[in-house]
């Protein structure tokens, strides 16, 4: 029941702070500054033996998986990457006993992801799930996992489940890091930042009016770019995905660094770029790329922190609260959900049930 909300997507966007609190509850161990994920079914020795992480998911779950892999690599220093579950099985992947395979799925029923898990298990790989729906097919198939406790999600465009996936990855990274060389101080720093996230998500949601105005202007464009680097690139991918899913505008994600190797040819006053520019070690490079876009008269929307100097570049700024730098991606993602929502609403589309798409794809 969407209650007073005009769509489930809107309701689910607003539910994110409460959902985020639920996924964190009871899973942060203050004393040892680590994650406390009982459902993993992996003890400290087994966690220490993991040499590589492979994340698998489809659609938005794949993009959050890419954010999660980056986070694990950064915090736990374990090589990690994400791949579309729909492709994985078909290239006869090498399944290694010391790799941890992480299946990410809101519904737990996406057939491509389920079949990937089954293939891994057949070949002796160890699997865990980051799944929202309790008792779903993927949840039953994996060796252990983290339930997301986002509550039922109805809108095809996933919001609160994605946020909780990200938090699941953050706790996993913390737990993996703390049985390796992550210090207590670093563990505490991350726990403090995780606990502060729900309120920061609320702050972003409170900027709804500003985001609605920006979205209405973006909705007029036939084609848009979403760009980001390293931590920001999966954010851009997810932002483009949401926008195209429900506004039906052509939205393409690119690494900011790759613009000059092709897409710059398409920049013009008719093609806006939404740039993800957190205040991190890449900020100077990112701002330089904004100059390149502005010089070609490409309209710019910059999702950023208030400390980032845009140095006279003409751009619409969307400012998000700061977190610890590793956790920035989730706060950068939330305004992109809200932009997509308002663009679709402005265009009069069915927000919860976009054409040609299903909430859960149970066919190949």
Which residue ranges make up the site for ligand G6P (CB under 6 A)? 58-61, 105-107, 110, 113, 156, 158, 357, 359-361
Q: How far is the CB of 335 from ligand G6P (least distance, A)?
A: 18
Q: How far is the CB of 129 from ligand G6P (least distance, A)?
A: 10
User: How many alpha carbons fall within 13 Å on the CB side of residue 114?
Assistant: 17
Q: How far is the CB of 212 from ligand G6P (least distance, A)?
A: 22
Nearer to ligand G6P (CB atom), residue 113 or residue 163: 113
Nearer to ligand G6P (CB atom), residue 59 or residue 125: 59
CB 29 within 8 A of CB 131: no
Q: How far is the CB of 37 from ligand G6P (least distance, A)?
A: 19
Nearer to ligand G6P (CB atom), residue 132 or residue 273: 132
Nearer to ligand G6P (CB atom), residue 200 or residue 237: 237
Nearer to ligand G6P (CB atom), residue 64 or residue 72: 64
CB 282 within 8 A of CB 229: yes
Q: How far is the CB of 200 from ligand G6P (least distance, A)?
A: 24
Helix 60-76, helix 232-247: angle, nearest 10 = 170
Q: How far is the CB of 145 from ligand G6P (least distance, A)?
A: 13
Q: How far is the CB of 210 from ligand G6P (least distance, A)?
A: 26
Segment holding 185, helix H or strand E: helix 184-205
Nearer to ligand G6P (CB atom), residue 190 or residue 336: 336
Q: How far is the CB of 97 from ligand G6P (least distance, A)?
A: 26
* β-pairing verdict for 28-29 and 250-255: unpaired
Nearer to ligand G6P (CB atom), residue 229 or residue 244: 244
CB count within 10 Å of CB 322 equals: 16
Helix 184-205, helix 16-24: angle, nearest 10 = 160
CA distance 20 to 161: 9
Q: What is the CA radius of gyration of the chain?
A: 20
Which are the contacts of 84, defined by CB distance < 8 A and separation ≥ 6?
56, 57, 58, 62, 112
Mapping DSSP onto H, E and C, the string for 121-140 reads HHCCCEEEEEECCCCCHHHH
CA distance 1 to 151: 13
Nearer to ligand G6P (CB atom), residue 105 or residue 323: 105
Closest CA to 300 of 308, 310, 309: 310
């Amino acid at each position: 029941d969407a209650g007073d909300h005009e769509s489930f997507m809107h309701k689910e966007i607003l539910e994110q702070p409460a959902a985020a609190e639920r996924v964190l509850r009871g899973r942060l161990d203050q004393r040892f500054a680590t994650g406390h994920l009982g459902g993993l079914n992996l003890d400290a020795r087994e966690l220490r033996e993991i040499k590589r992480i492979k994340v698998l998911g489809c659609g938005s779950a794949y993009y959050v998986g890419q954010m999660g892999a980056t986070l694990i690599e950064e915090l736990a220093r374990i090589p990690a990457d994400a791949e579309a579950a729909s492709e994985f099985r078909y290239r006869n992947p090498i399944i290694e006993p010391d790799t941890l395979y992480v299946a990410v799925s809101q519904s737990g029923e996406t057939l491509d992801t389920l079949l990937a898990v089954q293939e891994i298990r057949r070949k002796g790989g160890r699997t865990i799930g980051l799944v929202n729906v309790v008792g779903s097919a993927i949840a039953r198939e994996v060796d252990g996992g983290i339930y997301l406790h986002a509550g039922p999600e109805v809108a095809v465009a996933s919001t609160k489940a994605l946020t909780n996936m990200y938090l699941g990855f953050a706790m996993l990274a913390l737990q993996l890091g703390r049985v390796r060389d992550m210090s207590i101080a670093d563990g505490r720093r991350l726990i403090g930042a995780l606990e502060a996230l729900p309120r920061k998500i609320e702050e972003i949601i409170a900027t709804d009016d500003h985001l609605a105005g920006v979205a209405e202007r973006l909705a007029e464009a036939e084609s848009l770019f979403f760009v980001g680097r390293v931590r920001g690139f999966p954010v851009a991918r997810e932002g483009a995905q949401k926008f195209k899913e429900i506004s039906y505008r052509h939205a393409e994600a690119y690494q900011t660094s790759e613009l000059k190797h092709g897409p710059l040819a398409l920049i013009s006053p008719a093609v806006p770029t939404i740039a993800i520019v957190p205040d991190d070690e890449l900020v100077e490079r990112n701002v330089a790329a904004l100059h390149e876009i502005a010089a070609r008269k490409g309209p710019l929307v910059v999702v950023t922190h208030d400390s980032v100097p845009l140095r006279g570049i003409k751009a619409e700024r969307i400012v998000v609260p700061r977190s610890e730098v590793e956790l920035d991606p989730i706060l950068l993602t939330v305004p992109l959900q809200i932009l997509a929502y308002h663009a679709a609403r402005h265009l009069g589309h069915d927000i919860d049930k976009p054409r040609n798409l299903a909430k859960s794809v149970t066919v190949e």
